[in-house]
A and B are shown apart, each in its own frame.
Chain A
Amino acid sequence: MSLLEIEGLTVAFRRTGGGEVAVVEELSLALAPGEILGLVGESGCGKSVTARSILRLLPSPPARILAGSIRFAGQEVLALNAAALRALRGGSVAMVFQEPMTSLNPTLSIGFQIDEALRLHGMASRRQRRERVQELLRLVGIGAADWRLAQYPFELSGGLRQRVMIAIALANGPRLLIADEPTTALDVTIQAQILELLGQLRRELGMAILLISHDLQMVAEFCDRVAVMYAGRIVEEAPAQQLFEQPRHPYTAGLLAARPSLAGGRGRLVTIPGQVPPPGRRPAGCAFHTRCPRVLPRCAAERPPLEANVACWSPVP
C-alpha cells in the first residue's frame, strides 16, 4: 500500500486583479514506504506548491485546493481538523526547506529548537528529551557536544544549519520527509554531504523521502523514481535510471540535453526554445506544445493523459 497518495490535486491562487489561476492541475502521485521520489521542474511549475499542499502549509487565501485528495497512510489529509493536522506536521510527516535560516528561529539556541520539536509532540520527560536530542545530533553528523546545543543559527554554516533542520525534522520519527530544494543554497561538496546523510537516514530509519528540486541530474542520481513537472502537471514519471537514460517526454529529453555535463565537451548546447509559460497563460492542449520539437496538430487541441509513465501524444521513441 502507498504511504502517500495524491489524486487529482488542483491548487489555485487568487490573483491581485481578481479571479483565480490554477498553479497545480490534476496532479496524481504515489509514494511507497521507504521510497525516495524526486519531483523536478523549473521555476513556476508547481512543485513547491504541491509539496506544501501535502501538509496544508499554503496560506489560504490566496491559495485554495480546488479538487483532489491527499491520503497519508490511508488518512485523508484534506479532511483533518486543526489538532490532527498539528500532530501530523513534524510528527509522521516532516519537512525541510531550502533556506534553513528562514525556518530556524534566530533568537533561540539550536538545542532549544530541537527540544521544542520533541516537547510539542508530547515527549514530557526532560531527561528523555535530552537523550533524544543527543541521539538526533549524532544521527545528522553534528556530534553531540554541549557547546553545539548552545549555539544560535547565525553561528552555524549553511551546511550545519541544514543538518539542524534535518535533526528537527527527524525528531519524532517521521515516516515521510518532504525536502524542498534542501541543497540548493549549499556548495556542491556540502550538497554531497547532505545527500549522503539523507540516503543513510532512509536506509537506517526506513523513512520515505519526497525530494523537490530543479536539478534533474541530482534527482536522477539520488532518487528511486522521478516525476517531472511542467506547467502544473506531471508530464513524465519513471524509475530514475530509466528516465535519465531513456526520457520519453520531449520536455524531459530537452531538460537533460540542455544541461551541460562534465563528460560532454566544449561548445554550444541544445536549447528548448522560448520560456515556461506563467500560470494563467498556459497554452491549451499540451502546455508544452508551443516549445516542443515533436509537436503534432492534435497537441494544441487535446491534452494528453499521463499513460504508461508519459503524458504526450508524440513521445520520444
Chain B
Amino acid sequence: MTALLAVENLSTRFRLKRGGGEIRALHRVSFTVAAGQTLGVVGESGSGKSTLARSILRLVEAREGRVLFDGEDLLALDAARLRQRRRDLQMIFQDPFASLDPRFSVRRLLEEPLMVHGLGDRAARQRRVAELLQQVGLDPGAAEHYPHEFSGGQRQRIGIARAVALNPRVIVADEPVSALDVSIQAQILNLLMDLRDRLQLTYLFISHDLAVVRAIADRVAVMYLGEIVEWAPAEALYRQPRHPYSEALLSAVPDPARRGRRIVLQGELPSPDRPPAGCPFHTRCPKVMAHCANEPPPEVELGTAEAPHRVRCHLYGDRVPGSVQASQPLYSRA
C-alpha cells in the first residue's frame, strides 16, 4: 500500500519574542499514512501535536522537511497551487463554535467553501447543502439556523459537514471530540468512522485522549516535546507499548478495572524552549540510563516493512545489548 500522505523529517521552530530564543515545536517528525487509514496522534499539551497539524496544512511554516501528499511536496508549492491543493486537505477543530462564523447561517457556512472554489451554480449548491446535512445527521431545516442555536455535538456536525463539503481526501481533526460530553463523543466518533468508510477519507486524528484514539485509529504516533517517540500499529501499541513514555501515558489513563497499578511519572514536561539534551524524555524516564542524557536516541525499527513499528529509545539501541530484559523497572507505583 502506498502512502497518501508522507511526512519526512519535519521540523518547526517558533522564535520567542523575548531574548531571541527558539521553541522547538516539532523535531524531525516522519511518518506515512496510507489512503483510507487513520493515524492517531497522541501526546500531552506542548507535545507538538497541533503544530504538526498546522505545519502539514501550512498554517504555520515548517523550518525543514517535506510533506508529500500524493507524491507532491506541499511545502514547495506556490500560493496558487497550494490553494488548489487545500481542497484535498481539510481540518476539523476542537471548538466548532470558535471555527464557525456566528453571523452566518448554516447554509451560508456550508456554501462558502463551494463558492470560494467556484463550484456549482446556486441550485447545485443548494442540493449539496441538503446532501451534506443529511450525511452528518442533521435535519434539512438546520440550514436556516445559526451556530449559537445548536448544541456542542450538533455544532461539531456542522464543522464536519463544512470539512467534507469539497470532497477532500485527507481530514486533519484536531481534538474533534474533546469538548463534548461522553454520550455525544460516541455519536461524533461513529459519524467520523462512517464518513471515513463511505467517502474513503484518510484521517490524521489528533487527541490527548488515548481511549478515543483506540476506537478510531489504525496506527498511532506518540509525541513528546515535539518528537514522535513511537509510531506503531494501534493493536501493537495498546497491547505492548515499547517506549517508556508510551507505557507511562497508557498507564495514566483511568481504568476502574485496574485499581492501583500505575506508573506515575515524576515531574512535568520540560519547557520546549530548553529541551533536554540527549533523549527529551530522559528527565522523567523511569528506565533512564547514563548516556540518555547526552546522546539523542536512535530510531529503531521493531516491526516489519509492511507494519512498521518505530521507537526512538536507547533501550532498543545497539549501544546497550540485551537492555530490554536487563533494565530494571524503577518507576514508582501508586
Contact = CB atoms under 8 A, between A and B. Distances in A.
B254 A222 contact: yes
Interface stretch (B60-68, B141-149, B178-186): B178-186
B215 A266 contact: yes
Interface string A199-222: 100000000000000111110111
Interface stretch (A13-21, A23-31, A271-279, A307-315): A271-279
Interface stretch (A79-87, A95-103, A174-182, A185-193): A185-193
A166 to B, nearest CB: 16
Nearest to A217: B254
A267 B215 contact: yes
Contact of B214 (A190, A220, A260, A270): A260
Contacts of A276: 181, 183
A269 B188 CA distance: 10
Given A259-B182, A267-B193, A268-B190, A192 B334 contact: yes
A262 interface: yes
- Identify which of B186, B256, B259, B334 gathers the most chain A CB atoms within 10 Å of its CB: B256
Given A266-B215, A270-B186, A220 B181 contact: no
Given A42-B181, A258-B186, A271-B186, A188 B252 contact: yes
Interface stretch (B6-14, B28-36, B260-268): B260-268
B218 interface: yes
Contacts of A157: 268-269
B238 interface: yes
Nearest to B183: A272
A217 B255 CA distance: 6
B45 interface: yes
B186 A262 contact: no
A159 B268 contact: yes
A221 B211 contact: no
Interface string B16-37: 0000000000000000000000
A28 B132 CA distance: 46
B240 interface: no
- Identify which of A190, A195, A254 gathers the most chain B CB atoms within 10 Å of its CB: A190
Contacts of B254: 191, 215, 217-218, 220-222
A192 B262 contact: yes
- Identify which of B151, B214, B254, B259 gathers the most chain A CB atoms within 10 Å of its CB: B254
A260 B254 CA distance: 12
Contacts of A264: 214-215
A187 B223 CA distance: 13
Contacts of A270: 186
Nearest to A215: B254
A182 to B, nearest CB: 13
A187 to B, nearest CB: 4
B166 interface: no
A225 to B, nearest CB: 13
B256 A262 contact: no
Contacts of A269: 186, 189-190, 215
A275 B190 CA distance: 15
B161 interface: no
Given A192-B262, A193-B264, A217-B255, A271 B183 contact: yes
A160 B238 CA distance: 30
B333 to A, nearest CB: 10
A164 B182 CA distance: 30
B258 interface: yes
Contacts of B255: 217, 221, 261-263
B301 interface: no
B265 A193 contact: yes
Given A217-B256, A261-B255, 5 more contacts: A188-B253, A189-B44, A189-B249, A222-B254, A267-B215
11 contacts: A188-B44, A192-B264, A192-B265, A196-B334, A217-B254, A222-B254, A244-B257, A259-B182, A264-B215, A272-B186, A275-B153
The 9 closest A-B pairs by CB, nearest first: A220-B256, A218-B254, A260-B215, A187-B44, A258-B186, A42-B181, A269-B186, A272-B183, A192-B252
Interface of A: 42-43, 157, 159-160, 187-193, 195-196, 199, 214-218, 220-222, 240-241, 244, 254-255, 258-272, 275-276
Interface of B: 44-45, 151, 153, 181-187, 189-190, 193, 208, 210-212, 214-218, 234, 238, 248-259, 262, 264-265, 268-269, 334
